[in-house]
Chain A
């Protein structure tokens, strides 16, 4: 073997070695992060945090947990129909040009910084429409964050349904609406559910769009949609870790821990759904 080819082999090994090192670095960062938050979270989490509200820098997280659920509920109720029906249009009805324009602009919308969406919500809904910091303003801000994901996943899972299924439905004399509502959506349902779940996970972790729209409250949320501030978990993580008190830190760690656990569970469910869908497809 010549020296030159040995050098090339050695370079190849070196290159892949560096590549493995890079991968290890990413994995190390992620696991260090997970380990830090989970271990600190477990030690500071108490079950009575689920049943008490925040008092000053201490207390529990009930208001934030319920507030997060209320915000997610509002945003999902708005974003899921918009996104799913929009995805149906892009996949089933739109001409190729129109579809690609909508697809492109939806991707652009998902690139708008979340703080800009929050500030827009503040200017329009909180100030201009006079809703004040409120659940509805926060929910609509989250809707704008979640909508692109739901639309895109709905569209791509409908695209994977074979054309023959639609043709079969049309051949039975169904209109397009009947074909979609009785036949085409079934194989795509898993994918659509996955998209909605992922959007929920994304919405739960958002802070920036809510700072200017939902405000903060240490009381449990009421069903007043406007004029009443709501608390949410990510706010606790952000503000309480910067307080100098150990009780406040415990609350911040617990809130981060809860968020992480919920998001991990959603990811797990999504994985199972996807796996089931691919097994069924086979």
Chain B
């Protein structure tokens, strides 16, 4: 028997420690990101307090005038940071995206899981994956060149006809750069996420359950509606939350088609908006001109709000999706039995 030399034992220990350090790096990054963003937000939190979440005005103040002291923080005269329009813009555009994307993704996932086989199935799956891999600036480019003109000339005028039922749908359509186009672009970006997750969940529904449904004389549609969808309900909610997190955090595509509104709450479906992520990207140049650095801190607080929102949705989503993956094993047992 060959004995393990002490050198290879040491190598083993070194390897264990090295891999352990590498494995902890994502946690380290997560902690450092949160820490830095929180620390840098403190001046802005002291300046604005809760008004940050409820005020409409985002104004760096007069950068040429003298500094004034407000709430114990020196800032240019007239500085006020209110993020309400951006929070509203983020929530509104992502909810519109979900309203469009969730039904479409569910239906596509049903087709992918139950209606196609073999080559067609793998081709369709590849196509959906490809959609997830397209850079967001390229989707934004398509949004500017194709989608916004289409919304402005066709879809918008069509939707204004229902304006007498839902007042939010009426009003001038404008250039097409706004809430609706942002929602559509975001929908295109979250469809692959929700579709892929839901398809995986649908494929895990035990075949016995579906066969049971068919044996009862259900149509294939009723099997999906009454057996498969209830079975994956929890995971499906997780998949939607996952898409929501992505939609709220998406920057470039929205920045390109949102119309970059500031100090302005959306009045109708076609209003220009701005999301938190887009504002952070958009306000860089102006933030750097502020001698008091308050604009930098305010953007940091905006990043903090965004981080908290997306972390919450992601936590809920992962817990739900992972839990229903756990029940899969129980389901496999049924299948084997």
- Which residues from chain A sit less than 8 Å from chain B, CB to CB? 8-9, 11-13, 15-16, 18-23, 25-27, 29-30, 32-33, 36-37, 40, 81-90, 92-94, 102, 104-109, 111-120, 123-124, 127, 144, 147-148, 151, 173, 175-178, 180-181, 198, 201-202, 204-208, 211-212, 234, 237-238, 241-242, 252-253, 256, 259-260, 263-264, 267, 271
Contacts and interface: CB of A to CB of B under 8 A. Distances in A.
A180 B245 CA distance: 37
A49 B67 CA distance: 48
A113 B20 contact: no
Given A111-B245, A173-B4, 14 more contacts: A22-B107, A23-B107, A83-B22, A89-B16, A105-B30, A113-B250, A144-B29, A177-B15, A178-B8, A208-B277, A212-B281, A242-B144, A260-B138, A263-B134
Contact of A115 (B124, B135, B137, B303): B303
Given A23-B124, A117-B33, A212-B284, A105 B27 contact: yes
A256 B133 contact: no
Contacts of B139: 33
Contacts of B12: 175-178
B222 A19 contact: no
Interface string B203-238: 000000000000000011110110000000000000
Nearest to A237: B137
Nearest to A238: B137
A37 B138 contact: yes
Contacts of A124: 32, 36
Interface in B165-187: none
Contacts, number: 271
A64 B315 CA distance: 37
Contacts of B310: 111-113, 116
Contacts of A115: 249, 251, 277, 280-281, 303, 306
B23 A89 contact: yes
Interface in B295-337: 296, 299-300, 303, 306-307, 310-311, 313-315, 317-318, 322
B23 A86 contact: yes
A113 B141 contact: no
Contact of A8 (B16, B144, B222, B306): B222
A212 B130 CA distance: 27
Contacts of B42: none
A108 B30 contact: yes
A209 to B, nearest CB: 9
Interface string B10-34: 0110011011101111110110110
A124 B310 CA distance: 21
B11 A112 contact: no
Contacts of B49: none
B279 to A, nearest CB: 9
B103 interface: yes
Contact of B131 (A30, A94, A144): A30
A120 to B, nearest CB: 5
A127 B37 CA distance: 13
Nearest to B317: A111
Interface size bracket, B side: 35 or more
B23 A90 contact: yes
Interface stretch (B74-82, B108-116, B155-163, B262-270): B108-116
Contacts of B249: 111-116
A16 B250 CA distance: 32
Nearest to A22: B107
B40 interface: yes
Given A16-B115, A22-B107, A119-B37, A33 B251 contact: no
B33 A151 contact: no
Given A26-B191, A112-B33, A33 B124 contact: no
Nearest to A234: B137
Interface in B247-278: 248-252, 255-256, 277
A119 B111 contact: no
13 contacts: A20-B111, A23-B107, A33-B188, A36-B145, A37-B138, A85-B19, A102-B27, A104-B322, A112-B307, A113-B306, A119-B280, A241-B145, A256-B135
Given A26-B191, A238-B140, A12 B219 contact: yes
User: 3 closest pairs, A vs B, by CB?
Assistant: A113-B249, A205-B135, A22-B107
A211 B281 contact: yes
B56 interface: no
A267 B219 contact: no
B26 to A, nearest CB: 4
Nearest to B107: A22
Contacts of A252: 141
Contacts of B29: 109, 144, 147
Contacts of A32: 142, 146
B130 A119 contact: no
Nearest to B304: A116
Contacts of A208: 136, 251-252, 277, 281
Nearest to B108: A23
A18 B307 CA distance: 37
Contacts of B112: 23
Contacts of B130: 30, 264, 267
A84 B277 CA distance: 30
B322 to A, nearest CB: 8
Contacts of B15: 176-177, 180-181
Nearest to A21: B107
Contact of A36 (B104, B142, B281, B299): B142
B93 interface: no
